[in-house]
């Protein structure tokens, strides 16, 4: 509870969202003596892992890294089953953490925050729920996730369609029985590539509606090797620290000294084969220039296309599955038997690259002049990333200004964390921070630590207001874009730019240099919150 100018707020901090960012915010802030409450629209914790229950949903960061590092006993005690965990295991973990630290009592479920209004005379936020309840808090923490607003494109005739339809990111809580059903999956991104092999095992027939084929690398998931677990846990804190200081905030087997054409064709192919067998995101860092030079990058694309041709039996079908964009200009994907699945008799690729989906009908989806009759459609059509959820709320900062209006031409936030005009408000893994280009757990912990330490600093100095300066925010936004354009992440149409959402301003959203980002944040603090004004 805070008091300033004789105003006492109900809470020190309101946190929106009980995914991994919200859970750790609550744990950390409460630990530091801040009265905190979390509001969560869902009926349980877990965020992404609460909602994305589609068949095949799995994390593509190894379990021993995709977990909290803030508590040594927690990380030693918890036992993961697999090298990469599925949705159910990750959700169990989220629930375990919440119960272990007795956090549930401070989380209000089934409650959506609809507005937050800043009182600039007394430096606090009034936050209102969809039930009309209002609370006041000095600090307002948005732990709303990067991929939490589903994108369902508009299709002609959708209202006529009589079958079932689900978006992957709003999968029902009750079981969905796809056994023997005719199922359509629209999309070929990370989600569809996980769902297609899993659904093909269940469905009578699966139609994969593919507009853009994707590069994907085998994940090689397996039960967690007890020897590797023992070895990592024997030096867990050091291992975490090494990853914290590594590109993308994870263990990378990177070759940052040699360029692609410094080696012979044979040597390079052998290296790519080694990385294909290794799985994970190993290709992005195969050579120093893999992610920045188009010609170098093309050797990866050629290698993966050859793999596809080797896996898919029908040569014409294999060509349809071969991507023709720059590798990693769309988010790289990991799979389990994705291309193999197209050899099954019960799977049909519907190539909509040229004409798209014509329309929905009462019985299914019409494309290329054919009505594909289905019982169920799965929209694996992605998300309004990073800004979608924030722009849906009425967030008013100084002078009653709407965040959505400030961000009309693209999001602006210093360090991707704090927006000028919106004091005491923090976006965890927000646009302009490394967020989706990292191991999210590490990025979340870094941001939450920054916020909690800032609040401690303010309390110690009797300060009640922190705000990003415009003269710091503007260059930051330009820097994020410039840095992005030194890489091939920006070399194509991509949700990193908002290209998947009609009308969304085209701005490159993530900061590509995790290591540089962390150093910058440390420097900001060392220089007494350089770029912020504190009052
Ligand atoms: P996505 O990468 O945005 O893919 C959406 C897919 O839907 C694309 O293939 C897109 O085609 C297609 N699509 C969109 N609108 C369409 C339309 N009108 N007609 C036909 N096709 C359409 O979404 P996602 O697969 O859900 O993945 C989003 C992000 O979530 C990932 O990049 C990743 O960061 C995260 N994720 C992670 C995991 C994991 O950890 N394993 C799993 C799932 C998701 P175009 O390419 O032609 O636009």
Q: For the chain, which domains are there?
A: 4-149+384-530 (3.50.50.60), 158-378 (no CATH)
Q: Which residues lie with the beta carbon below 6 Å from any ligand 1 atom?
A: 58-60, 147, 153, 168, 186-192, 194, 211-212, 331, 356-357, 380-383, 436, 495, 500
Q: How far does residue 330's CA lie from ligand 1's centre (Å)?
A: 9
Sheet containing strand 164-167, strands side by side: 164-167, 376-379, 182-186, 205-210, 347-351
Residues 6+ apart with CB under 8 A from 320: 210, 213, 349, 351, 353
Which among 61, 155, 211 is the best mutation to test ligand 1's pocket, defined by most ligand atoms within 8 Å of the CB? 211
Which among 154, 169, 381, 435 is the best mutation to test ligand 1's pocket, defined by most ligand atoms within 8 Å of the CB? 381
- Spell out the per-residue pLDDT of the chain, length 535, in tens: 555 555 789 999 999 999 999 999 999 999 999 999 999 999 999 999 999 999 999 999 999 999 999 999 999 999 999 999 999 999 999 999 999 999 999 999 999 999 999 999 999 999 999 999 999 999 999 999 999 999 999 999 999 999 999 999 999 999 999 999 999 999 999 999 999 999 999 999 999 999 999 999 999 999 999 999 999 999 999 999 999 999 999 998 889 999 999 999 999 999 999 999 998 888 989 999 999 999 999 999 999 999 999 999 999 999 999 999 999 999 999 999 999 999 999 999 999 999 999 999 999 999 999 999 999 999 999 999 999 999 999 999 999 999 999 999 999 999 999 999 999 999 999 999 999 999 999 999 999 999 999 999 999 999 999 999 999 999 999 999 999 999 999 999 999 999 999 999 999 999 999 999 999 999 999 999 999 999 9
- pTM, two decimals, is 0.97
d(CA 240, CA 248): 13
End-to-end CA distance of the chain: 18
Residues 6+ apart with CB under 8 A from 527: none
Q: How far does residue 188's CA lie from ligand 1's centre (Å)?
A: 6
C-alpha 492 chain-centroid distance: 19
Q: How far does residue 238's CA lie from ligand 1's centre (Å)?
A: 35
Q: Taking a C-beta distance cutoff of 8 angstroms, is the pair 411, 432 a contact?
A: yes
Q: How far does residue 333's CA lie from ligand 1's centre (Å)?
A: 10
Which among 500, 502, 504, 509 is the best mutation to test ligand 1's pocket, defined by most ligand atoms within 8 Å of the CB? 500
- State the pairing for strand pair 205-210/182-186: parallel
> Relative to the CA of 382, which ligand 1 atom is closest?
23
């Amino acid at each position: 509870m805070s008091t300033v100018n004789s105003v006492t707020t109900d809470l020190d901090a309101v946190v929106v969202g009980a995914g991994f960012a919200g859970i750790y915010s609550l744990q950390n802030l409460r630990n530091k003596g801040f009265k905190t409450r979390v509001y969560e629209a869902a009926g349980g914790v877990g965020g992404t892992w609460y909602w994305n229950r589609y068949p095949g949903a799995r994390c593509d960061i190894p379990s021993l890294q995709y977990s909290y590092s803030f508590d040594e006993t927690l990380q030693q005690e918890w036992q993961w089953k697999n090298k990469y965990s599925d949705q159910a295991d990750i959700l169990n973990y989220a629930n375990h953490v919440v119960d272990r630290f007795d956090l549930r009592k401070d989380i209000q479920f089934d409650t959506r925050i609809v507005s937050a209004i800043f009182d600039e005379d007394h430096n606090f936020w009034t936050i209102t729920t969809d039930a009309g309840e209002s609370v006041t808090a000095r600090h307002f923490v948005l732990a709303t996730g990067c991929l939490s607003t589903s994108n369902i494109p508009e299709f002609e005739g959708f209202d006529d369609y009589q079958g079932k339809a689900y978006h992957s990111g709003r999968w029902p809580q009750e079981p969905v029985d796809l056994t023997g059903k005719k199922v359509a999956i629209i999309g070929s991104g990370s989600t569809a590539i996980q769902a297609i092999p899993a659904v093909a095992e269940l469905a009578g027939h699966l139609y994969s509606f593919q507009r853009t084929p994707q590069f994907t690398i085998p994940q090689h998931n397996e039960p967690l090797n007890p020897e590797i677990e023992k070895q990592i846990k024997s030096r867990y804190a050091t291992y975490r620290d090494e990853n914290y200081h590594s590109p993308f905030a994870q263990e990378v087997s990177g070759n940052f000294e040699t360029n692609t054409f410094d080696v012979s064709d044979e040597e390079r192919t052998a290296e790519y084969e080694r990385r294909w067998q290794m799985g994970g995101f190993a290709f992005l860092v195969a050579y120093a220039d893999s992610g920045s030079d188009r010609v170098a990058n093309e050797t990866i694309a050629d290698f993966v296309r050859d793999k596809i041709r080797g896996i898919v039996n029908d040569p014409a079908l294999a060509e349809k599955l071969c991507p023709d964009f720059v590798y990693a200009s769309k988010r790289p994907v990991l799979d389990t038997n994705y291309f193999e699945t197209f050899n099954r008799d019960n799977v049909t690729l519907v190539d909509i690259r040229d004409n798209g989906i014509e329309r929905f009908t009462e019985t299914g989806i019409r494309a290329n002049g054919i009505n594909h009759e289905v019982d169920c459609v799965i929209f694996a059509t992605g998300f309004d990333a990073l800004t979608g959820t924030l722009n849906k709320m009425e967030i008013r900062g100084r002078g009653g200004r709407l965040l959505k209006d400030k961000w009309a031409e693209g999001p602006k936030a210093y360090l991707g964390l704090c927006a000028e005009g919106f004091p005491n408000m923090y976006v965890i893994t927000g646009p302009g921070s490394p967020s989706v280009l990292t191991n999210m757990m590490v990025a979340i912990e870094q941001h939450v630590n920054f916020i909690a330490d800032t609040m401690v600093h303010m309390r110690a100095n009797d300060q009640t207001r922190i705000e990003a300066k415009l003269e710091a925010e503007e260059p930051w936004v330009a820097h994020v874009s410039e840095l992005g354009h030194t890489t091939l992440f920006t070399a194509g149409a991509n949700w990193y730019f908002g290209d998947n959402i009609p009308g969304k301003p085209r701005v490159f959203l993530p900061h590509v240099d995790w290591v540089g980002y962390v150093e910058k944040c440390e420097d900001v603090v060392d220089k007494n919150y350089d770029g912020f004004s504190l009052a």
